[in-house]
Amino acid sequence: MCREPGSDGARVKGERPDGDDWRPAAGLAALRRRAEYLAAIRRFFAARDVIEVETPLLARAGVTDVAIEGLREAATGRWLQTSPEYAMKRLLAAGLGDCYQITRAFRAGEQGRLHNPEFTLLEWYRLGWDGSGLMAEVAALVDGILGPLSVTQCTYRDAFLAAGLPDPIAAEDAALRQAAEQRLAGVLPEGLGRAGYLDLLLDGVVVPTLPARCFLTGYPADQAVLARLDADDPRVAARFELFCEGVEIANGFVELTDAQALRSRFEADQAARAAAGVAVPAVDERLLAALESGLPDCAGVALGLDRLLMLAEGARSLDAVIAFPWEQA
Residue from 59, 60, 70, 58 nearest 273 by CA: 70
Complete edge-to-edge strand list for the sheet that includes strand 236-244: 51-52, 99-106, 118-127, 298-304, 247-254, 236-244, 213-220, 152-155
Q: How is 27-92 classified by DSSP, letter by letter?
A: -HHHHHHHHHHHHHHHHHHHTTTPEE----SEES-----TT---EE-TTT-PEEPS-SHHHHHHHH
Cα 304 to Cα 141: distance, rounded to the nearest angstrom: 13
pLDDT at residue 190 greater than cutoff 90: no
Q: How confident is the model at residue 3 (pLDDT cuts 50, 70, 90)?
A: very low
Complete edge-to-edge strand list for the sheet that includes strand 79-80: 58-59, 79-80, 71-72
pLDDT at residue 13 greater than cutoff 80: no
Q: How confident is the model at residue 12 (pLDDT cuts 50, 70, 90)?
A: very low
pLDDT at residue 229 greater than cutoff 80: yes
pLDDT in tens, 250-282: 999 999 999 999 999 999 999 999 998 999 999
* CB-CB contact of 27 with 8 (8 Å): yes
Cα 316 versus chain centre, distance: 18
Q: How confident is the model at residue 8 (pLDDT cuts 50, 70, 90)?
A: very low
pLDDT score recorded for residue 18? 59
pLDDT score recorded for residue 10? 44
pLDDT at residue 246 greater than cutoff 70: yes
pLDDT in tens, 68-95: 999 999 999 999 999 999 999 999 999 9
pLDDT at residue 191 greater than cutoff 70: yes
What 8-state DSSP symbol labels residue 255? B
Mean pLDDT of the chain: 93
What 8-state DSSP symbol labels residue 295? P
Over residues 2-29, the mean pLDDT reads: 64
* CB-CB contact of 214 with 242 (8 Å): yes
* CB-CB contact of 231 with 216 (8 Å): no
Cα 230 to Cα 236: distance, rounded to the nearest angstrom: 6
Q: How is 90-113 classified by DSSP, letter by letter?
A: HHHHTT--SEEEEEEEE-TT--BT
pLDDT in tens, 128-149: 999 999 999 999 999 999 999 9
Overall CATH class of domain 28-151+211-328: alpha beta
Task: Output Rg (C-alpha) for the chain, integer angstroms.
Answer: 20
Helix (H) / strand (E) containing 238? strand 236-244
DSSP, collapsed to helix, strand or coil, labels residue 243 as strand
pLDDT in tens, 44-63: 999 999 999 999 999 999 99
Cα 112 to Cα 92: distance, rounded to the nearest angstrom: 34
Q: How confident is the model at residue 192 (pLDDT cuts 50, 70, 90)?
A: confident
Compute how many other C-beta atoms are within 10 angstroms of the C-beta atom of residue 193.
14
Compare 145 and 13 and report the one with higher pLDDT.
Answer: 145
**Half-sphere CA count of 269, side-chain side, radius 13 A:** 25
* CB-CB contact of 60 with 79 (8 Å): yes
Cα 295 to Cα 259: distance, rounded to the nearest angstrom: 9
Domain ranges within the chain, ordered by starting residue: 28-151+211-328
**Half-sphere CA count of 22, side-chain side, radius 13 A:** 2
**Burial classification of residue 81, based on how many CB atoms lie within 10 Å of its CB (0-12 exposed, 13-18 middle, 19 or more buried):** buried
pLDDT score recorded for residue 1? 44
* CB-CB contact of 122 with 168 (8 Å): no
* CB-CB contact of 84 with 120 (8 Å): no
pLDDT at residue 20 greater than cutoff 90: no
